[in-house]
Amino acid sequence: MPRLYGFEDMAYQRVREVEAEGIRAAASRRLEKQSFPAITAWMSEHGYRTTQGNEFKPDVLAGVLRHPAIAGLRENEDGELVDSGGPRIIPVADFLAIRAMKQSNDPGKQRADQREYLLSGSLGVCGLCACSLGASPSNRGSRGYRCIPSTAQHPGGCGKVRIAAELFETYLAEHVLAELAKPEVAALIGQARDELLAQATQLRKDAAAARRRQKKLGESYAETQDLSLKAFKAADKKLTDLIRESMTRARFLEQVKHVPVGDIPDLVRWWKHAPLAAKKGVLVLFLEQVALYPAASRGSRTVDADRVALKWRQWDSGIATSAQSA
């Protein structure tokens, strides 16, 4: 039987801190009413994997967040939740709030379009605090992006920036398609794509090297104990972070493999019918970062010219995309 994500042992007494970080982040997003598909997409993009090394699925993540052990609880013979005496990865109040959420918010019951967000990973950031934007449906269920407010479990975000997904994604599409339509840019798409894929390959090699160093570190500590436990844990965590960051960046760049190479007569029509993976790849190919700022007026149905800053990617192939911003 596989161990519970977040714990080293089946008795739920020793926390695996690297995985506990993922639980806290997922719980924070769930409390913000994000759907399980949106949360698992975020976890995959940031390198979190199950105990078997697979990407999280919504039902698997739901099972973790509803397991009493993550809040230091257990069920007694009467099915009541009682203190287990174990460590608490998330507060009891947060755990109970997640358990009490409506069944309509459960995995598998989300509308398909609620799972499809063009911006992902580290591409979109809050212009005020530089934290990554998260998928955050409105109270009426329409798709949206938001700077997730800071919590004890997920510190950082200011929570002051929000935008409707359709408006934001239309704005981005208009700008990247305008670049793609330039003959001198379109001619270099294949070369630029290969450059980014080569970077991704190197990042995967860096992660593999770090894994070998981590294994050697563990073997050395077990055999000689020249390092103190504190020093060993610090070194192990540093390597774990390096592996996760390298793999996250590699997967982000590898999205460009879905970008078509060759002449596309009607770019607007192609974009309308293109798979989401191809659209994401185009954004990654052209943009390093998209910063979103607050709207000039509340409830605005337009994207103001000073609300979005686009940082265009510089290609090594000789032609950089326009240094335009809006």
Phi/psi zone of residue 156: left (φ > 0), alpha (ψ -120 to 50 degrees), beta?
left
**pLDDT tens-place string over residues 256-290:** 999 988 778 888 899 988 999 999 999 999 999 99
* Plot region of 162 (φ>0 → left; ψ -120 to 50 → alpha; else → beta): beta
The 8-class DSSP code of residue 15 comes to: B
Rounded distance, CA 127 to CA 136, Å?
17
Q: Mean pLDDT, consecutive 10-residue segments, the chain of 326 residues?
A: 84 90 92 88 86 88 93 78 90 91 52 66 91 80 84 77 90 93 89 94 94 90 81 90 91 91 84 91 95 81 83 72 42
Give the pairing type, strands 162-164 and 144-147.
antiparallel
Q: What tokens does 141 get?
A: 């269920």
What domains lie within the chain, and their CATH numbers? 1-114 (3.90.1750.20), 116-202+249-326 (no CATH)
